Amino acid sequence: MLNLLADERLALFVTLVYEILLQDPDLEAARFQIIDLSAIKPGEKRSLRVIDAADIPRLPAERVRAMLEVFAEGYFRAQAELASKPSTDSKESDGPHPDQYDFFDPLGKR
């Protein structure tokens, strides 16, 4: 399966979402479903699969912490690398691109 959100990463996602749902009494009993539109094999069409998150095992707190530490370390390294490189922007943007419609003037009457 080409889905990058699978196996332990899917379990991490579900664990985090359930932790958030448990913080709100109105959402404690909410049904949480995941809509998966991934392709089973490379080159095949995507297919719809509805996953009931209750069927995904939760990760223990120690494993969640370890996985989030790896994510945070990668994030901060990427942020530092991007900050050390010179900006590729030649100038600051003064507004929308000329080909982009204005939100308040959707027909482009300028």
- Could you read off the pLDDT of 82-96 as tens digits, one per residue? 999 887 765 656 676
81 found inside a domain: no
The answer to whether 3 and 36 are in contact (CB under 8 A) is: yes
- Could you read off the pLDDT of 26-82 as tens digits, one per residue? 998 889 999 988 887 888 898 899 999 999 999 999 999 999 999 999 999 999 999
Whether residue 105 is predicted with pLDDT greater than 90 in this model: the reply is: no
85 found inside a domain: no
43 found inside a domain: yes
38 found inside a domain: yes
Q: What pLDDT does residue 92 have?
A: 59
Question: How crowded is the C-beta side of 109, counted as CA atoms within 13 Å?
Answer: 3
27 found inside a domain: yes
Q: CA torsion sign, 11 to 76 to 38 to 18?
A: positive
Domain that holds residue 25: 7-76
Distance CA 75, CA 82 (A): 11
100 found inside a domain: no
95 found inside a domain: no
15 found inside a domain: yes
Q: What pLDDT does residue 1 have?
A: 45
Helix and strand numbers (H, E) in the chain are 2, 2
Domain count, the chain: 1
